[in-house]
Every structure is written in structure tokens, then in C-alpha cells.
């Protein structure tokens, strides 16, 4: 049983589900953490994802309520379906609830994207990553760093370095992304920055939110900002508006985001997945956080940490404009076959003896 619920999980699910279904029967559960058409359905149709067998309809809420509701609903489904294994992906509240619900029922857990650490326990994602890893039986690590992080916490059994499923997705879809007509008018390839902003530590802190928006509004090229509903709501509540060459657009589907990233002068983001996608697509990234769990992207200046400080953000953009960094993105996140490796290991683990 695969449990997904939030946008980045739908991207990871695309290569994974395809591979899993070549080897085992997959029951797909959508928790409903993300429910807007643009945040969920658009991904299922564009990536031809199988329809969920179960939809829990959990919706938004504070962390405890969301995780609690998911746990409760999922427990009932797990008892009914009695899967041989539960597969969770990434680091969202859906990941945590899926892993906990299964572990409490004695059902083995497989965690895809195991071993990532930002070493900042104030991030809800770091809590989710740690707890999930510690109750997992199979831990699928994208990189050697992730394997080392787990070893440092005493986790050595069931650890497999397989590469990264998001890298599988980039390889599979980048050409198709480049062929489709442009969805946003008035921006030419190489003439704009792409920004995203949704992390709790940025979106829910009025000062940081105003600082980042100010920094983006001051950039000298047009900046496209597909706006996450959380950030949109905070901006509205605080009366914050885009200024300068900053352009707000609705959340974009996956293929459009790949294309926008590939053709941008630079990506400015607080997303984890986009740091990696920008790296794989050869676009410099400026990360609007103090830490990153994707430490490989920092090598050679491909990615720079700038936090929410307008001066640091401006300096990082200037550095990238002065001398565009070059790096070889091949292999860092695997060879594009992570999902197939994961599926084989899972199939071997659940096969009746
Ligand atoms: C979640 C993940 C985060 C991931 C992100 C990708 C956790 C703790 N965080 O953050 O790691 O990077 O997904 O997007 O799980 N909302 C809507 N419509 C939706 C979804 C959300 O309006 O379809 C609004 C709601 O006001 C909600 C808020 O966004 O309260 C936050 O949503 P939530 O799922 O709690 O966290 P994300 O910020 O999306």
C-alpha cells in the first residue's frame, strides 16, 4: 500500500507506482492533505497516475489535527486491506502518519527518500523524516550522505542506496516538458527568474515573508512566482502585494514547472524538491532557507543558501549573474532507475516464503 497526500509525493509516485505495479499489487491511498485541483488532480492527470483506491479526505489543519485524523482514517483502511507493506515518501505529515499507523499495527514500512537531514528540528519536515526513518523496515536512500546520516543515528538494517525517484522523474519527463507550448505568456527563455515560497518558516513569519517578497520585487529581471495557497492566504491577511517585476501566477503543473526551471536564469526557492530539480536541469538555485538537506547541490555554487535576508538574496543573485556556475549533474542523484530498484527490493521483501 502506497500512501500519498501532498504535491511532491505525486511527482515521486509517478515513477515509483509504475515500477511497483510491474512486480506487486499496489493499493494507492490519497490522504487528502492537498485537495485543490491545482495541487492534486492536475498532477494525477498530467502524470497519468493511477486513481487512488482510497481517499481519506483529511484536508488542512494544524499539524496535530492533520496527523491525528490521517492516523485514525488510515488505521481503519490498513485493518481492512491488510497490506504486506506500507510505502511512504518524503517528509510530509502524510509520510509521518502513514509510517506510524502501519508501525503500530506491526505492518512493515518502506520509506522512500530516507536519511535526509537538515539538522534543524524546528522544521516540521525534519521531525517527520526522523520519526519515519526510526519506524521503517526498508529505508531507500538517494545518496551516500543519506546512508551516513542513518548510520549516525544507529540505523543500518534495511538501508539501501538506490538513487533518487525525483531524478527518475526529471529524466523521464524533461523532454516532454520542453516540447509543450508555454503556459505563461510574456516571459522569454533565459530572461526571467523562477521563485517559489511556501515553507512554514517563511510563509507563516510575517517579517520573513515581507523580506523575501521585497527581495524578489527588487530583482532586475521579471520573476515568476507560482503561489502556493498557504502563501497566498498569508499575503492576503497581511496585505502584502507583489511589486517591481514580480509576477504572481497560480500553482503550475509538474511539466510546466520543469520547463520553467530549465529556462530560468536562476531559481529562488524554499522547496526541497526544486533545489534538486534545478540542479539536475543545470539551473543555478538560491535557497531561501538557512539549511538544506540536499547538501550535494551546494557543491561548486550550483545552489546557495540565502535565508530570507534581502541583502543575502541580492548578493547570491549577483554572484550567479556575474559568473554562472557550471557543474555536472549526472549521477549525483542516481542513474534514473531508483524506482525500479525500490520495486524489486519491496517485491522480494513481501514475497511469501
Ligand atoms: C506540505 C508539506 C511540505 C511540502 C509541501 C509541498 C508538511 C508538514 N508539509 O506543506 O513539506 O513541501 O506540502 O506543497 O506536511 N492549502 C490549500 N489547498 C491545498 C493544500 C493546502 O489551500 O490543496 C493551504 C491550506 O490553507 C493549508 C496550507 O495550505 O492549511 C498548508 O498546507 P499543508 O498541507 O499543511 O502544508 P504545505 O505548506 O502544503
180 pLDDT tier (thresholds 50, 70, 90): confident
Specify the residue with its C-alpha closest to ligand 1, atom 18. Answer: 36
Question: Residue 268 has what pLDDT?
Answer: 98
331 pLDDT tier (thresholds 50, 70, 90): confident
221 is catalytic: no
The CA 142 to ligand 1 mean position distance, Å, reads 24
Question: Residue 186 has what pLDDT?
Answer: 86
Residue 124 Cα: closest atom of ligand 1: 8
Exposure string of 217-238, with b = 16+ CB inside 10 Å and e = fewer, is bbbeebbbbbbbbbbeebbeee
pLDDT tens-digit map of 214-224: 999 999 999 99
The CA 230 to ligand 1 mean position distance, Å, reads 7
**How far does the chain reach from its first CA to its final CA, in angstroms?**
20
Specify the residue with its C-alpha closest to ligand 1, atom 19. Answer: 34
Residue of 70, 89, 126, 230 with the most ligand 1 atoms within 8 Å of its CB, for mutation:
230
As a whole number, mean pLDDT of residues 233-243 equals 97
Q: Who lines ligand 1 at CB under 6 A?
A: 6-8, 33-36, 39, 60, 91-93, 124-125, 198, 229-230, 233
Task: Report whether 99 contacts 109 (CB < 8 A).
Answer: yes
Residues 6+ apart with CB under 8 A from 13: 2, 4, 28, 47, 49, 89
Given a cut of 90, is residue 181 above it in pLDDT? no
Residue of 198, 200, 287 with the most ligand 1 atoms within 8 Å of its CB, for mutation:
198
Residue 61 Cα: closest atom of ligand 1: 30
The secondary element (H helix, E strand) that includes residue 317 is helix 310-322
Q: Give the closest residue to 91 by CA, choosing from 188, 9, 173, 167.
A: 9
Specify the residue with its C-alpha closest to ligand 1, atom 21. Answer: 34
The CA 61 to ligand 1 mean position distance, Å, reads 9
pLDDT-above-90 percentage for the chain = 97
Residue of 131, 197, 228, 257 with the most ligand 1 atoms within 8 Å of its CB, for mutation:
228
Sole residue written with cell 544507529? 154
Task: Report whether 246 contacts 223 (CB < 8 A).
Answer: yes
Specify the residue with its C-alpha closest to ligand 1, atom 33. Answer: 60
pLDDT-above-70 percentage for the chain = 100
pTM exceeds cut of 0.95:
yes
As a whole number, mean pLDDT of residues 337-341 equals 98
pLDDT tens-digit map of 7-51: 999 999 999 999 999 999 999 999 999 999 999 999 999 999 999
The span from the CA of 275 to the CA of 227, in Å, is: 17
Q: What's the CA angle centered on 201, arms 197 and 204, to 5 degrees?
A: 80
The span from the CA of 338 to the CA of 19, in Å, is: 9
Residue 233 Cα: closest atom of ligand 1: 26
Residues 6+ apart with CB under 8 A from 352: none
182 pLDDT tier (thresholds 50, 70, 90): confident
As a whole number, mean pLDDT of residues 222-240 equals 98
Question: Residue 144 has what pLDDT?
Answer: 98
The active-site residue, picked from 134, 198, 228, 326, is 198
Amino acid at each position: 500500500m502506497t500512501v500519498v497526500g501532498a504535491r511532491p509525493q505525486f511527482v515521486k509516485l509517478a515513477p515509483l507506482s509504475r515500477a511497483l505495479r510491474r512486480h506487486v499489487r499496489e493499493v494507492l491511498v490519497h490522504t487528502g492533505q492537498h485537495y485543490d485541483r491545482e495541487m492534486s488532480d492536475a498532477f494525477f492527470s498530467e502524470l497519468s497516475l493511477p486513481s487512488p483506491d482510497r481517499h481519506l479526505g483529511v484536508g488542512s489543519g494544524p499539524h496535530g489535527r492533520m496527523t491525528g485524523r490521517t492516523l485514525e482514517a488510515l488505521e481503519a483502511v490498513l485493518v481492512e486491506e491488510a497490506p504486506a507493506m506500507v510505502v511512504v515518501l518524503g517528509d510530509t505529515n502524510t509520510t509521518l502518519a502513514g509510517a506510524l499507523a502501519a508501525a503500530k499495527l506491526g505492518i512493515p514500512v518502506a520509506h522512500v527518500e530516507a536519511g535526509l537531514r537538515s539538522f534543524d528540528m524546528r522544521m516540521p519536515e525534519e521531525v517527520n523524516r526522523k520519526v519515519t526513518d526510526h519506524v521503517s523496515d526498508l529505508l531507500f536512500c538517494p545518496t551516500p550522505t543519506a546512508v551516513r546520516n542513518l548510520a549516525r543515528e544507529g540505523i543500518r538494517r534495511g538501508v539501501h542506496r538506490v538513487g533518487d525517484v525525483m531524478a527518475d522523474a526529471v529524466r523521464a519527463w524533461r523532454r516532454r516538458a520542453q516540447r509543450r507550448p508555454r503556459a505563461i505568456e510574456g516571459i522569454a527563455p533565459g530572461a526571467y527568474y523562477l521563485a517559489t515560497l511556501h515553507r512554514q518558516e517563511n510563509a507563516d513569519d510575517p517579517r520573513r515573508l515581507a523580506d523575501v517578497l521585497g527581495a524578489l520585487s527588487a530583482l532586475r529581471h521579471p520573476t515568476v512566482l507560482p503561489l502556493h495557497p498557504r502563501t497566498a492566504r498569508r499575503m492576503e491577511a497581511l496585505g502584502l502585494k507583489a511589486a517591481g517585476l514580480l509576477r504572481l501566477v497560480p500553482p503550475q503543473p509538474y511539466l510546466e514547472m520543469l520547463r520553467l526551471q530549465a529556462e530560468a536564469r536562476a531559481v529562488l526557492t524554499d522547496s526541497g524538491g526544486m533545489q534538486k530539480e534545478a540542479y539536475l536541469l543545470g539551473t543555478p538555485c538560491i535557497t531561501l532557507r538557512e539549511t538544506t538537506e540536499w547538501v550535494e547541490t551546494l557543491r561548486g555554487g550550483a545552489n546557495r543558501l540565502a535565508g530570507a535576508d534581502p541583502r543575502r538574496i541580492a548578493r547570491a543573485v549577483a554572484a550567479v549573474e556575474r559568473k554562472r556556475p557550471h557543474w555536472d549533474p549526472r549521477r549525483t542523484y542516481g542513474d534514473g532507475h531508483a524506482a525500479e530498484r525500490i520495486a524489486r527490493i519491496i517485491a522480494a521483501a513481501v514475497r511469501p516464503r
